[in-house]
A and B are shown apart, each in its own frame.
Chain A
Amino acid sequence: MSSMTRQNVGTFLAKQGILVAFVLFMIVFAIANQRFIAMDNILGVVRSSAIIGVMALGVTFVVIGGNLDLSVGSMMSFSTIVVLDLHDKIGPAMAIPAMFALTLLLGAFIGFLVGYLKLNSLIVTLGMLSAIHGLTLTWSGGKNMDIADKSGTWFSFFGQDRVLGIPVPILIFALLAVLLHMLLSKTAFGRQVYAVGGNGQAATFSGIPRARIVFMTYLVSAFCVAVAGLLQASRSLGSQNTVGQGQELVVLAAVILGGASLLGGSGTVFKTVIGVLILGFIQNGLLLMGLDFYVQYMVTWAIIILAVWLDVAAKRGRLWSPIA
């Protein structure tokens, strides 16, 4: 009987391990440094995680649908550069919808390739990572993009202002998280995403338009990237062409940390948010402890592998791989 309960505890830990780790982690850091749980510090962390977080929300859809998206970092650079460039040319009120339209167009292109042409998403988005980077450089002529009049634009609202004392990026992140959580967990579309990622063939045999669902997940991802680009542009009002470079992998790390399987069919928006926050708070906590930023890289490394390892181990019922 005691072995039975021990097993249950083990299963619980393995299933909710990421949440447990998060809470433990917060407690340890809070004890080590009071400042860690100060309200302004927490808001600061969430705010700086918002851009990665927003992209991770979109990638969650793609991953649950059984695919990958390695192009979000590159696409975010594109959105940022485009909206900054258009800001001075056609004004912010037009620049924002134009940027959203262009970003969604890129998402639709990827969605078409992966959904309708059924190409391997890893390679397609790898190719798009490169292609969109080239597109961005062509758009900007390789130069940094800056808004001419940085103090006189309401465009800074999204990245810099506060509403009710809460930074706008946090509000946008939270709002988007709630909306996408509803979309994924409550609607028929969300259910179909899980079905397509869990077993694409069975989904097709059940009359689910698999290609269209995959296509839609990339649109959701592109929409989130556009929001992230908006936040990024609005925060700095100027940007390099490579602002999103490498972020696709951090985003993916957050999604995986949240427990989504790369095979598709599992994961939730809520867990992805936890994954994002863990990455954010680790960075912050280590900085508060006076450790250099690169320690964060290594801790993240360890945490990703441990998290996935625990998950895999729980599924196969043994810690070490049976591979000879």
Chain B
Amino acid sequence: MTGPKPALRLEGIVKTFPGVRALDGVSFDVRPGEVHALMGENGAGKSTLMKVLGGVLAPNEGQIFIGDDPVVMTSPKQAKAMGVMFIHQELSLAGELSVAENIFLGELPLKSFGRVDWAKLYAATDRILETLNVGFDARTRVGDLSIANQQMVEIGRALTVNPRAVIFDEPTASLTDAEKVVLFKVIADLQARGVGIIYISHRMEEIFKITDRISVLRDGQYRGTLITSETNEDEVTQLMIGRSLDLSRNASHHQMGDTALEVRGLSCGRLFEDVSFTVRKGEVLGFYGLVGAGRTEIAETIFGLRTPSAGQILLNGQEVEITSPIEAIRLGISLVPEDRKDQGLVLGMNCKDNMSLPQVGRLTKGPFVSHGAEIAIFDKYREKLDIRTPGWRQAVGNLSGGNQQKIVIGKWLSMHPEVLIVDEPTRGIDVGSKSEIHNLIRDLAAQGFAVIVISSEMPEVLHVSDRIVAMFAGRVMREFTSEEVTEDNLIQAISGLEAAGRG
């Protein structure tokens, strides 16, 4: 390949863990001034590769080059010294410290006796903040900044050295559109300075907007590099999963029943306001919007985890007051939460115990829990949902993301709910399990459940929903039937471009 000398080059990187070949001969390069997307499913090896690049893990084989020089990364600090910088997905900032201290974390300028040279620190920080063109100063406490500004602090950290390569790991995951624009501008500036950029993201539209080349990993193996301007989403997806994912529209053909859940003018402080919608039995209602639009908060309010400040919730036409999840469950509402590991499962517990958790108080024989009844439930849903596990004794922490999600879904199906709310059904789940879960959601609707699906992935929402509620900044912007919705009008609705429409 001709062209300028790469800023960073990997050659035949192999990393093995006991029993797993996490990286199997990965080679690619980033040129100065290039934005190079790195794509792959969860578990494809991206994070392992980043750890190798960052000096956290040592590769078993292979070589990293910076420019033409072979280097061995032994620590994050050394990676930094060589000009390889990371903008982590989970921001690694100390919220109680100032912007300046965070930017120069681990290398504060010092005077004698280990004293911090504050004048120098603030001056250096101000210079960096100036190039980033942000509206806060070096002395601001980081905990007081918005997520987007905190990310700018992380980027500022990358600018303390003259970076050769900067790696962005899902940087837009929690940004608004306006904030994204600022971020992309900063990335363009870095490009102009001749920095090589590795951009990790799942979001195709961003990838096609800002990157020059796309490299794909699958199962720890390098699958090839495409030139962005010469390829399309299908090609990339095929490379990622080895086949294309069926995301065709999928409106219900069966008969729908009565209204199961109706929400009227529901508000919760500043989180969301005046939200109204209905879900019928046998219907899948999709909620689409950006992170922070208030979708999850609506689900939590319906599930009794937040106290609404106004509005009504009606279940089968009857107004109900839901003050706790216990109450919600009793009324036949179930919530598969957004964060599987923190909210959905007790990772140290086995499969059976997790699945029977909401009803363990009822599955008793005399004073004791009936193992027989628990195992019966587990076996029923293991078969029904095709959960792949060696047995009920397995700790759920050892299962794959897809199987974990099925345990959570099974847990709630076993409660025979009338309304099932599924928040981000396929987050962090491999593509194979994704379509299984999509089919499952469709099946549930066909069986007469009223299902609400909240998702940040547009193809997913379009694929599973009969109707779609578009949200922006805590308000319902528009409701679409599956016939009228298009990608364009949906995007317009959730970016606040369209005036608030019908309720």
Interface residues of A (CB under 8 A from B): 182, 186-188, 191-192, 194-195, 198-199, 201-209, 265-266, 324
Chain A hits for B326, CB < 8 A: 207, 209
- Beta-carbon contact of B367 and A199 below 8 Å: no
- Beta-carbon contact of A187 and B305 below 8 Å: no
- Beta-carbon contact of B342 and A188 below 8 Å: no
Chain B hits for A186, CB < 8 A: 367-369
- Beta-carbon contact of B349 and A203 below 8 Å: no
Q: Does B448 contact A (CB under 8 A)?
A: no
Q: A188-B364, A191-B369, A201-B343 are in contact. Are A206 and B349 (CB under 8 A)?
A: no
- Rounded to whole angstroms, the CA-CA distance of A186 and B374 in the bound complex is 13
- Rounded to whole angstroms, the CA-CA distance of A206 and B414 in the bound complex is 12
Q: Which residues in window 286-342 of B have CB below 8 A to A?
A: 303, 305, 324-326, 328-329, 335, 337, 342
How many residues on chain B are close to A (CB under 8 Å)? Answer: 29
Q: Which residues in window 324-379 of B have CB below 8 A to A?
A: 324-326, 328-329, 335, 337, 342-349, 353, 357-358, 360-361, 363-364, 367-369
- Rounded to whole angstroms, the CA-CA distance of A63 and B328 in the bound complex is 29
- Rounded to whole angstroms, the CA-CA distance of A8 and B342 in the bound complex is 30
Shortest 5 CB-CB contacts between residues of A and residues of B? A198-B346, A186-B368, A188-B361, A207-B329, A199-B346
Q: Does B456 contact A (CB under 8 A)?
A: no
Chain A hits for B349, CB < 8 A: 194-195, 198, 265
Cβ 8 A contact of B353, one of A187, A191, A204, A207: A191
- Beta-carbon contact of B348 and A198 below 8 Å: yes
- Rounded to whole angstroms, the CA-CA distance of A53 and B325 in the bound complex is 37
Interface residues of B (CB under 8 A from A): 75, 303, 305, 324-326, 328-329, 335, 337, 342-349, 353, 357-358, 360-361, 363-364, 367-369, 411
- Rounded to whole angstroms, the CA-CA distance of A284 and B326 in the bound complex is 50
Determine the residue in chain B with the shortest Cβ distance to A212. Answer: B326
- Beta-carbon contact of A199 and B369 below 8 Å: no
- Beta-carbon contact of A199 and B347 below 8 Å: yes
Q: A186-B368, A205-B305, A205-B343 are in contact. List 6 more A-B contacts (CB 8 A).
A: A187-B367, A188-B363, A205-B303, A205-B335, A205-B337, A207-B358
- Beta-carbon contact of A204 and B348 below 8 Å: no
- Rounded to whole angstroms, the CA-CA distance of A203 and B337 in the bound complex is 12
Give 22 CB contacts A-B under 8 Å: A182-B368, A186-B367, A188-B360, A188-B361, A188-B363, A191-B360, A194-B353, A195-B349, A195-B357, A198-B349, A201-B342, A201-B343, A202-B343, A202-B344, A202-B346, A203-B346, A204-B325, A205-B325, A205-B337, A205-B343, A207-B324, A207-B325
Determine the residue in chain A with the shortest Cβ distance to B412. Answer: A206
Chain B hits for A206, CB < 8 A: 325, 357-358, 411
Chain B hits for A209, CB < 8 A: 324, 326
Chain A hits for B303, CB < 8 A: 205
- Beta-carbon contact of B329 and A192 below 8 Å: no
- Beta-carbon contact of A195 and B305 below 8 Å: no
Q: Which of A202, A208, A209 has the most CB of B within 10 A?
A: A202
- Rounded to whole angstroms, the CA-CA distance of A47 and B324 in the bound complex is 46
- Beta-carbon contact of B345 and A202 below 8 Å: yes
